[in-house]
Structure 1
């Protein structure tokens, strides 16, 4: 069997610009948005919720600018794990890569479990485990066939989510401002709910706590960096895709939250039921709960699909860099890291099993790690961009030669780094999220210990070899 270093097959650059755009845009539209937006409005109030999404969107924008500069200069499947390894340190890259991989593997299990539970609305007598197996087999098949199959399926999933949001905005906006009649002759609310309880009904503290939920709902947009390694002409498609993703994500998120806040009082918004369902029901849209059940199901499958892709490519990257078994770097004739795909699916299966056998211990710990992985990834993106630009200038590079530049360097990258660190530290002030810091910190320290006492000692990791390889592909500016 060929290993990562002597195989003949390579990843295929078959993703088009439309795939990159939809993968990144759809990556941020998940259950965190369809369900979490209600929690944000309930805690922070209408005005506070909009401010939370605007600030969260601004942090996302700064992070994506940093990712854009790195990804255009070095479009590799390892994305920020590779950048962290090269510009910050291999031990940090090792820890971030494994944390991000494990986080997505656990997320696949969680999303499959949630999707199975949703199916019981239509098939109440069916077992949840049966639907879990069906959905896991589906996303495995989409990822195993080829990267193009994955890209097309994610294009479809994301398209359905975006179409649903557009239709929701049109119908909800018309009802909020009296253009269509509401159920039972209710009056159009206009802006009445914005002024009924003041600016911040639960204080500024509630606003800060909701920032954690909001920031997590934007995560997934970093998938565009991982997909860059298999995209056509990344120098041209990446900058355009990143800019479009940021502004359109902000548009969909902020406008949807604004209209939801117009339509329902703060007390009716929560996490027990999707605020989208509450709004559509108040308008009198028939089968509103079933419609949203289907949309949320699509969102769950989309997250699982993207998560399996991201985790597989991260494990492949770790293998290529000598941080995982060479067997995991094997690529089949269809351009798929099949061993990495199977191992990731296996860990997702074990995580799903732990939700039954150890739901209050192991599964909770794994979920905490899953929530922290993407946030650590965002921190590493901003820190890597600062280190990358500093090294580039120190080695005589001309910033004008960079095909995509983060503006106002180093001010904006520093603001992005500090903002992402604040979000992570804020987990300590939310009792429901505090476990993520405990589990994540323990896992991170363990990864450092493993690297220094096993990997660093027994393997010779050569960064120069990686740089030569990247230069041979003419994809680096260094």
Structure 2
């Protein structure tokens, strides 16, 4: 049954779908809204340095995932690899942790849709827009994988076109082709030659940059349903990485050149739900584009829907894979005729309904804790990818195979995954180190709640099932 189900899910996503799903998951409000606060915290080149460093780390992770995904394509991605290459308890914790991350992200995004849509219709309750968004996402994911892929392609394309237009307008403004009173050299040379706050300022942006790049690992999720993953996954890895790096670095440079880093609108953008605080909007308005606010609000709305759409896909496929391995109830491992894990989709949608608790008395408290609980899950997933890849390559060689025979080989092994592992761990530890100085337990609990949500399932499964780390000679390398 599992093999039949797996076959029915394959051959439905084209290369352009695979690329755009990962691109759509990683380019969202983090770029359109919080990129301005990064410049305010670390200065122009401090922010750029942080994003380049995290971008390199993400590239290593993507190539690690690409090597495993082309060798053994699966819709369960790194949770499945954690099962096979490390320890069933590790895969169990990784899978449930990742499902929880995207399910809560769906709730967060539906709330955001309601708030953004009120820009045009402020008199309409936000929960109505949230309900419409949740229903739309459910229907898109219900019909077929192909429908989902096509929808995500066009949603992501809107973002790509917007960023490209922004970069074009920005370059014209920087060179004075579009009238601007901005002193570009003064803006870029603030602080210590573009760096503000020293190394601490750069480190503070590491966390923001890390969250911004999350979603790139969706390439691994799509591999199990991609047409010819041995070709589509490597192409997607290279195209997505360079596009993301170009978009983020290019956008931050344009923002830094055209908006002073202490501009109050820029500094408040990370904490304000007002679309007018988007650095993109500021640049457009300064360039004399009158409809900038409405334009960016529409793009941000599209961006949030795209992220929620990708997240729903990722969470349902992760839960489906867990069920296939007996690590979730069997009902979540059943597919419709269209190859959709309906029960997994319904459970994910049920978590999305948490969005509506924010409209109820005390709901903000519950909602806030759930958001905090999902905060570090993306970095834990990245650590899982690095560990799984290190184990996979060692097992592959230990069982007498030649690295040259791999369809796709990760770059800089073993340095690449080790660097990614160390950097992910550093970002987790640097979330809020000041809270440990005075042992502020309430802040520690909220900030690091994701860690016990991973550790407890891992230890619980390990104790109950009595699992052990899989010996290298016994690792399942069937592709």
TM-score strictly above 0.5:
yes
In structure 2, what is the Cα distance between the partners aligned to 1:364 and 1:51?
31
CA distance in 1, matches of 2:220, 2:430: 26
The answer for the alignment partner of 1:192 in structure 2 is 186
2:203 is aligned, of 194, 204, 208, to: 208
- Name the CA distance, whole Å, in 1 between partners of 2:139 and 2:364: 31
- Asked if structure 2 preserves the Cα contact closer than 8 Å seen for 1:77 and 1:227, the reply is yes
Tell me which residue corresponds to 1:56: 54
Contact conserved, 1:355 with 1:363, CA < 8 A, in 2?
A: no
In structure 2, the partner of 1:35 is 33
Whole-Å Cα distance in 1 between the matches of residues 209 and 128 of structure 2?
32
- Bigger drift between 51-60 and 420-429 goes to 420-429
1:173 paired residue number: 171
Deviations 1:280-328 (A, max 9, x none): 1111111111110001001100000000000000000110011000000
Note the C-alpha offset of 1:47: 1.2
- RMSD over aligned CA atoms reads 2.5
Q: Give the direction of change, closer, same or farther, for the CA distance of 1:10–1:430 in structure 2 (3 Å limit).
A: farther
Instruction: Give the superposition deviation at 1:117.
Output: 0.7
| Pair 1:334–1:230, CA change in 2 (3 A) | same
Q: 1:150 to 1:357 in 2, by over 3 A?
A: farther
Q: Which runs of 5+ in 2 are unaligned?
A: 436-441
Give the CA deviation at 1:351: 4.9
Shift of 1:451: 1.5
Q: Are 1:97 and 2:98 matched, yes or no?
A: no
Match of 1:235 among 224, 230, 237: 230
Q: How far 1:103 sits from its partner (Å)?
A: 1.0
* Inter-CA distance 190–437: structure 2 relative to 1 (3 Å threshold): closer
Partner Cα distance (1:54, 1:7) in 2? 40
- CA–CA distance in structure 1, aligned partners of residues 455 and 253 of structure 2: 42
TM-score by length of 2: 0.91
For 2:247, the equivalent position in structure 1 comes to 252
The residue number in structure 2 matching 1:443 is 453
Q: How far apart, CA to CA, are the structure 1 residues paired with 2:40 and 2:157? A: 29
Contact (CA 8 Å) 1:101, 1:311: kept in 2 or not?
A: yes
Q: What do residues 254-305 of structure 1 show as CA deviations (whole Å, max 9, x unaligned)?
A: 0111011000000122223111111111111111111100010011000000
Aligned mates of 1:53, 1:441 — CA distance in 2: 24
SS of equivalent to 2:432: helix
What are the equivalent positions in structure 2 for 1:30-429 lying under 5 Å apart? 30-182=28-180, 187-199=181-193, 200-268=195-263, 269-270=266-267, 271=269, 272=272, 273-353=277-357, 356-429=360-433
Q: 1:190, CA displacement in angstroms?
A: 2.8
Superposed CA offset, 1:127-165 (max 9, x none): 111101100000110000100000000000000000000
Deviation at 1:370, TM superposition (A): 2.1
With 59-68 and 441-450 compared, the bigger mean Cα shift is at 441-450
Distance 1:378 1:405, change over 3 A: same
Residue 357 (structure 1) shift = 4.3
Q: Deviations over 1:23-67 (max 9, x none)?
A: 112221111111110110010011111111111111111111111
Could you list the per-position Cα deviations for residues 370-415 of structure 1 after superposition, in whole angstroms to 9, with x for gaps in the alignment? Answer: 2211111111111111100000000001111001111332122211
| 1:449-464 mapped onto 2 (5 Å cutoff) | 449-454=459-464, 456=465
Deviation at 1:453, TM superposition (A): 5.0
| Structure 1 residue runs without a partner (length 5+) | none
Residue 434 of structure 1: CA displacement?
4.7
